[in-house]
Amino acid sequence: MKRIGIIGAGRFGLSLAEALSDTGTEVLLIDRNSTLVQNAMKKVTWSVQCDATNANALEAAGIAECDMVVVAIGSNIEASMLVTANCKEIGVQTVISKAISEIHGKILDKLGADHIVYPDQDSARRLARNITDHNAYDLLEISKGVSLAEIDVPHACVGKTLAEADIRKKNGVTVLCIRRPDPKSERKPLQILIPNPNDKFEENDKLIVFGTTAGIDAISGKG
């Protein structure tokens, strides 16, 4: 069984950690905020309070034992850079780092990040380069039968909130973010939304989802 480390227990990091845990994957979740760590204890295998910018503390937390690490730190660019560099220096084989801008992403790439994701800006376009149907393994290979994918919003979900659609409970699939055209712009650039339970799905939404391949097949109409 693979062990995945996630550094940063904000909305994106915690959502990913919970989704991985639901598949039976061992998850080590690290954050410097004791409240976030405490709240996550029952949701993941290990939840550890740690200043990940300190390489010694990070190694002591067990990050070197992870097969893959996702650096999910939010707007603290300096911290994300230090943590990415620390993970590579410690010897983590695969590091996926969250960036908030193209420049930030380029710096993370130079620091050794194996993959860069932009969940608050342009995640779908970046993820889509690595995803064709269920071929998400170049980006986030977890285990057999578990995928990350981009799908059209299921027709049955249009007009419903995330809570009402209950995709996670019904299909074992977590919606990580929504890619939505901006109706206020003539060019209709994409908005990248990290959904709350009360957010409603709209027609033409694209969903970045994580879960069992069978579950993704079911909601995308391929099952």
Mean pLDDT by 10 residues, the chain (223 residues): 88 83 87 94 94 96 93 89 94 89 88 79 36 35 64 91 92 85 61 84 87 82 62
The domain tally of the chain equals 2
Q: What is the structure's pLDDT at 22?
A: 79
The predicted model scores a pTM of: 0.58
Decide which of 89, 118, 147 is a domain's last residue: 118
146 and 103 within one domain: no
Q: What is the structure's pLDDT at 46?
A: 95
Q: What is the structure's pLDDT at 146?
A: 73
86 and 168 within one domain: no
100 and 174 within one domain: no
Q: What is the structure's pLDDT at 184?
A: 65
> 136 and 148 in contact (C-beta within 8 Å)?
yes
207 and 133 within one domain: yes
167 and 137 within one domain: yes
CA distance 116 to 112: 10
CA distance 98 to 100: 7
CATH number at residue 178: 3.30.70.1450
CATH number at residue 61: 3.40.50.720
Decide which of 95, 118, 141 is a domain's last residue: 118
**What is the separation, in whole angstroms, between the first and last Cα of the chain?**
26
- Between CA 133 and CA 13, with CA 205 as vertex, the angle to 5 degrees is 75
Decide which of 96, 118, 140 is a domain's last residue: 118
The parent domain of residue 97 ranges over 3-118
Q: What is the structure's pLDDT at 136?
A: 36
* Residue 120: both structure tokens together: 């608050």
